[in-house]
Every structure is written in C-alpha cells, then in structure tokens.
C-alpha cells in the first residue's frame, strides 16, 4: 500500500536498516506534533492577554473628551500606591473660563470611590467633601482660571476608602 510520500508501506528506502522506518513514523506523527508546537508558541500571547487593563479617567470640557492613562495604579486592591511616587504622564486639556467640566471614571474606580483635587500639591483643595461613588461628576470652572495653568488630580481609593489605589493627572490650560 503506497503512503502519501509514494513509498510502499513497510519498504525501506535503503538496505541499511530501520532509519527510514523511524523517519516515516516521525513524518506520520508530524501531523500531530506541528499543531501542538504551534499551540505552544501561541500560549504566551494568549496568557499575556489575561491581565486586567488599567482603568481610565476621561475629562470632558468644551465639547471635547480627553482620556488619561493612570500616573500609577495598583492592580491589587490591598496594595496602596504613594501619590508622591506617581510620576506618570499628565494629560493637558484646554479649558475656557466659565465652562462646566465633567469627569467620567471606569467602573473599578467608581465602585471603591474617588476624589478630585485641584491646584498644585502645596495648595491643592478637594472639590467634594466626601468620596464620589458615581461614574460622572461635573463642576464649573470660573473666570478665576485666567491665564494660569491649573493641575487637576483624580485619586482612586481601595474598597476601604482609605488606601490610595490610583492617580490620574490633568493640567487645565486656558484656551
């Protein structure tokens, strides 16, 4: 009976022994080995896709939305971050005076609670007296913005409401 390679089954290509038989067995099993090897190569790609994405914050002002990456975020709720060590990027947003600014947060931030601080670190103030538990918060930017750039920081807490879990930084620039 001929094989797919054109050599009759059981017949060696040379008179030297069993090497062609082993080769034939390996070729037959290659149909199984190749897909398994391919799967092994793809496994790291599949497993790397299992990490949770970092939640984001979107600031809406004057009809445009600006999504910010976290300056820092702890994937483990019980492992707090230090705000001073959050050296990630700052998202710059042009804002006109006397406009309403909105901040939208992802579910992971909303569920545990978050706050907004405005101003530089030595003169910052919280916009709300309590932790926000909603997905969206709006507030007016008054004429006091003038020609100055104002830092705005969104701070996320863990489920206890005490430990800092993440920080997002914006810079409000007069338009």
pTM here is 0.70
In this predicted structure, the answer to whether residue 13 has a pLDDT above a threshold of 60 is no
- Identify the pLDDT of residue 132: 96
Domains of the chain by start residue, with CATH: 1-51 (no CATH), 57-174 (2.60.40)
pLDDT level of residue 124 (50, 70, 90 thresholds)? confident
Distances (CA, A) of 75 to 20, 46, 49, 147: 56, 19, 15, 38
In contact, 65 and 47? CB cutoff 8 Å: no
pLDDT in tens, 17-58: 555 554 454 455 555 545 444 444 444 444 456 788 999 999
What is the average pLDDT across 48-71? 89
- Identify the pLDDT of residue 130: 92
- Identify the pLDDT of residue 155: 95
Q: Give the Cα separation of 103 and 152 in Å (integer).
A: 11
In this predicted structure, the answer to whether residue 153 has a pLDDT above a threshold of 80 is yes
């Amino acid at each position: 009976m001929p094989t797919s390679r054109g050599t009759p089954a059981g017949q060696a290509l040379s008179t030297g022994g069993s090497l062609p038989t082993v080769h034939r067995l390996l070729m037959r099993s290659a149909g199984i080995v190749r897909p398994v090897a391919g799967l092994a190569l793809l496994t790291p790609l599949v497993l790397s896709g299992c990490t949770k994405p970092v939640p984001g914050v979107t600031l809406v002002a004057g009809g445009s939305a600006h999504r910010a990456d976290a300056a820092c975020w702890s994937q483990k709720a019980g492992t707090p971050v230090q705000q001073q060590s959050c050296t990630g990027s700052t998202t710059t947003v042009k804002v006109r005076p006397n406009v309403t600014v909105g901040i939208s947060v992802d579910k992971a931030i909303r569920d545990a609670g978050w706050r907004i601080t405005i101003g530089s670190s030595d003169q910052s103030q919280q916009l709300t007296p309590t932790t926000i538990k909603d997905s969206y918060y709006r507030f007016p930017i008054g004429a006091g913005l003038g020609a100055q750039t104002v830092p705005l920081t969104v701070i996320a807490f863990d489920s206890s409401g005490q430990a800092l879990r993440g920080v997002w930084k914006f810079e409000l620039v007069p338009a």
